[in-house]
Chain A
Amino acid sequence: MSVKAVICNLFKEPIILTNLIFNLMNEEELKSLKVDKSVDARGTSCPGPLLAAKKAIGQIEKGQIMEVLSADEGTRRDIPKWCNKKGFDYLGTLEESGYFKIFLRK
């Protein structure tokens, strides 16, 4: 059993918090990440960004990094939740001017 699974079981908490503890990077680390796939969903509203992320994730390999650019508030929580459901690693969110960037690892 992975360490993550042990912690989840131990504290009986959903994977979200554990994922955050293990994967969340700080601003410096996020800014210097080598991104394998960039999804610019700034022109669309929910569920646009989520579907764009889903389409794009099929185009990268396991272990690769994807960033999703969005200005849609709902997307901010949708994507980390989706990562947890699908077993991807949510790495963090960077605030930019008028939009944000979500980083995840497949």
Chain B
Amino acid sequence: MANKKLTLALYTGSVDKLTAAGVILGGAAAEDMDVDIFVLLQAAHAFKKENAMADEYFAEITDKKDEFLASLKRLNAPHWTEAFKTAKEMTNVKIHICGFAGKVWHGEKLDDFIDLADDICGIGEYISSAEEADINLFI
């Protein structure tokens, strides 16, 4: 029986939503799913080498960021980059940076982004991937 497929349109650049995405990837990895991640606009900013560990932005209740980061430490929870990396080691995960989004933040080539990224792609690939997926998410 073929693996189930998860397509994730990752738009967010805020550390809390990226952390949530990391947990979801963990769940997908536990199920041996094939995962396609499309790193869009604000996420492309977070995926840039100089930004990934900055943990600068927190969505919605913005004054809770410090409490969130402190709790991650307390609960021994991994940074989202670690969670993504673990998922990649455990199941088939492909991370595509949206070409346009990359350019918005002056990321012209793959090397401008963290090692997690596999390639730079266009919208056609996202649509094809989403069409075939069992689970489609926009975070």
Contacts and interface: CB of A to CB of B under 8 A. Distances in A.
Interface string B76-87: 110000000010
B30 A54 contact: yes
A45 B30 contact: no
A84 to B, nearest CB: 12
Interface residues of B, number: 11
A48 B26 CA distance: 8
Interface in A56-106: 78, 82, 85
Given A51-B30, A54-B29, A45 B90 contact: no
The 4 closest A-B pairs by CB, nearest first: A47-B26, A50-B30, A45-B75, A43-B76
Q: Is the interface of A mostly helix, strand, loop or mixed?
A: helix
Given A46-B23, A85-B31, A51 B90 contact: yes
Contacts of A23: none
A50 B31 CA distance: 10
Nearest to B83: A47
A73 to B, nearest CB: 13
